[in-house]
């Protein structure tokens, strides 16, 4: 088992990519704390890990609320004495160009995509330093390493996640804390439902993806979960400050 007895906290783990990564961490022996704002989905993910023979618990957490992040980290440290893995995954997408995105859309994007990752990492870091090391994965997106049309708030916040990841990584590398960014492209999860609606339905999006992505398809959540496992395990033991892009070639086409 790659993660035997490691304590892992995953935000946004009630669905999609975060959930698939959490399930794989559980399978690899981690004790997984599922932190999703959707309490039912969070509990269901934790139960699935447990019914597969793993160990998990859910702590309902909305990462846009500082006090809930503080409670998540304090409760986990109280129960387990350490946190080996923090996967900051919850995020939102506010689409649109400069003239259509309100300051509220920019503020919310910053608060959830960047500030929440910052705060959770800030609260976990002293414990990781004291225990001799740890791993943080911050979910960005391939929108954190390239530019698409009409994504001012999303691309800006996701580029900031990559910058923040790199800065954290060099500041704490000597404490054996590794920090990397996860940069998926199109992954088939409910996260894209608003875009599917905006495009006029599933078929339009399939055509769009066939045109834009060199591999001509969506990623599955399991393909991204394998990359998460790589980043949080010792398989990536000399890797820090990197943005791991898994996007079927979209960002370099
Ligand atoms: N799906 C994609 O194509 C794709 C591509 C690149 C990056 N991402 C990133 O992945 C993340 C979304 O993951 P997904 O695609 O698995 O989506 P998803 O919709 O399947 O799951 C998102 C989960 O996050 C939870 N969540 C949302 N806001 C939250 C909050 N404020 N606090 C706590 N939990 C919250 C939801 O309840 C849900 O369970 C985002 O950070 C997004 O930028 C997704």
The neighbour count for residue 224, using CB atoms within 10 Å, is 25
Give tens-digit pLDDT for 14-29.
999 999 999 999 999 9
Closest ligand 1 atom, residue 38 Cα: 37
Percent of the chain past pLDDT 70, that is, above it, reads: 100
Q: What CATH number is given to the structural domain containing 11?
A: 3.40.50.720
What average pLDDT does the segment 133-138 reach? 99
Q: Atom 19 of ligand 1 has which residue's CA nearest to it?
A: 191
Q: What is the pTM of this model?
A: 0.98
- Residue 126 Cα to ligand 1 midpoint, Å, equals 27
Cα torsion 116, 85, 57, 119 to 10°: value is: -20
Distance 18 CA to ligand 1 centre (A): 7
DSSP character at residue 218: P
CA-closest residue to ligand 1 atom 32: 62
- Any domain includes 74: yes
- Residue-level pLDDT at 183: 99
C-alpha of residue 191 to centroid of ligand 1, in Å: 6
pLDDT tops 90 at residue 58: yes
Atom of ligand 1 nearest to the CA of 63: 32
CB atoms within 10 A of CB 102: 11
| Position 168 pLDDT exceeds 90 | yes
The answer to the question of residue 17 being in a domain is yes
The confidence score (pLDDT) of residue 98 equals 97
pLDDT band (50, 70, 90) for residue 194: confident
Q: Is the pLDDT of residue 197 over 90?
A: no
Beta strands in 71-220 (DSSP E): 85-88, 134-139, 177-184
Q: Domain for residue 39, yes or no?
A: yes
Residue nearest to atom 1 of ligand 1 (CA): 187
Structural domain includes residue 144: yes
CA of 12 from ligand 1 middle (Å) equals 6
The SS3 call for residue 79 is helix
Q: Which atom of ligand 1 is nearest to the CA of 139?
A: 41
Q: Is residue 70 part of a domain?
A: yes
If residue 59 lies in a helix (H) or strand (E), which one and from where to where? none
Pocket test for ligand 1, best of 10, 11, 18 (most atoms within 8 A of CB): 18
Q: Is position 20 within any domain?
A: yes
User: Do 23 and 225 form a contact (C-beta atoms < 8 A)?
Assistant: yes
For 62-84, write each residue's pLDDT tens digit.
Answer: 999 999 999 999 999 999 999 99
Cβ–ligand 1 contact at 112 (below 6 Å): yes
Rounded to 5 degrees, φ, ψ at 138 are -105, 120
| Rg (alpha carbons) of the chain, rounded to whole number | 17
Asked whether the predicted pLDDT for residue 195 surpasses 90, the reply is no
Active-site hit among 147, 154, 172, 208: 154
Residue 42 Cβ < 6 Å to ligand 1: no
For the chain, the domain total comes to 1
Considering the domain boundaries, does residue 136 fall inside one?
yes
Regarding the beta carbon of 248 and ligand 1, being less than 6 Å apart is answered: no
* Res. 39 pLDDT band, cuts 50 70 90: very high
Tell me whether residue 210 is in a domain. no
Active-site annotation holds for 154: yes
Domain that holds residue 131: 7-188+220-252
Residue 113 has pLDDT above 90, yes or no: yes
pLDDT of residue 156: 98
For residue 248, what pLDDT is reported?
Answer: 98
Distance 36 CA to ligand 1 centre (A): 10
Does 54 sit in the ligand 1 pocket, CB within 6 Å?
no
Average pLDDT over residues 103-113: 98
């Amino acid at each position: 088992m790659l993660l035997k007895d490691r304590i892992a906290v995953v935000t946004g783990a009630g669905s999609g990519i975060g959930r698939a990564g959490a399930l794989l961490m559980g399978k690899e022996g981690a004790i997984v704390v599922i932190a999703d704002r959707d309490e039912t989905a969070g509990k269901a993910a934790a139960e699935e890990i447990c019914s597969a023979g793993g160990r998990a618990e859910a702590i309902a957490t909305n990462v846009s609320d500082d006090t809930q992040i503080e409670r998540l980290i304090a409760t986990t440290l109280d129960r387990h004495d350490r946190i080996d893995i923090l996967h900051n995954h919850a995020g939102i997408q506010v689409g649109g160009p400069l003239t259509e995105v309100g300051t509220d859309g920019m503020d919310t994007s910053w608060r959830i995509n960047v500030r929440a990752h910052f705060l959770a990492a800030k609260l976990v870091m002293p414990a990781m330093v004291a225990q001799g090391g740890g791993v943080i994965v911050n979910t960005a997106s391939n929108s954190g390493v390239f530019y698409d049309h009409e994504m001012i708030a999303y691309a800006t916040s996701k580029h900031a996640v990559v910058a923040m990841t790199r800065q954290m990584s060099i500041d704490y590398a000597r404490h054996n804390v590794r920090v990397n960014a996860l940069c998926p492209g199109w992954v088939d999860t409910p996260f894209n439902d608003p875009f599917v609606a905006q495009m006029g339905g599933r078929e339009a999006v399939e055509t769009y993806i066939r045109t834009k992505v060199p591999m001509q398809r969506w990623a599955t959540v399991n393909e991204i979960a394998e990359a998460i496992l790589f980043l949080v395990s010792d398989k990536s033991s000399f890797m820090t400050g990197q943005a791991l892009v898994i996007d079927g070639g979209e960002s370099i086409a």
